Homo-oligomer: A and B are copies of this chain.
């Protein structure tokens, strides 16, 4: 691609002005999530819909999607495929919202520990952890669903 010296100067100035740095993961205690993630100006964003788990072949009728750990892994696997198809990876995830439903097998409360096992299997080895919020909601779209996750990812175009 041919550019004059003037255009080259222009492009250089633009790059400076729009600050094409990587996301900054604020995680001073090296925790399993970041306290915050800074997305630099000039980034592209990907908003992914809330993703629900797949059914488990042969699962008992009462728990068609498996337990919370199983569902978390199913959801993250599906999110990973969506990210990859759009040119993103798990390390580009800047925000994650985890919705859990109370598991009758865990006394009716959310199985936070089970979700963490699934989460850590995927995000544990990664350097860049997302910011995250987790809560127990009253219900998801189908009975037996204990986990749904939505993410936003960002990267340089």
Contacts and interface: CB of A to CB of B under 8 A. Distances in A.
A interface bracket (residues with beta carbon within 8 Å of B): 35 or more
Copies of this chain: 3
Interface of A is mostly: mixed
B131 A139 contact: no
B14 A14 contact: yes
Interface stretch (A44-52, A53-61, A62-70): A44-52
Nearest to A26: B86
A107 B131 CA distance: 33
A105 interface: no
Task: Give the interface centre of A4, A45, A50 by most chain B CB atoms within 10 Å.
Answer: A45
Counting from the closest, the 6 A-B pairs by CB-CB distance are A50-B133, A10-B10, A136-B139, A10-B13, A49-B131, A39-B45
5 contacts: A38-B44, A48-B131, A49-B133, A95-B152, A133-B150
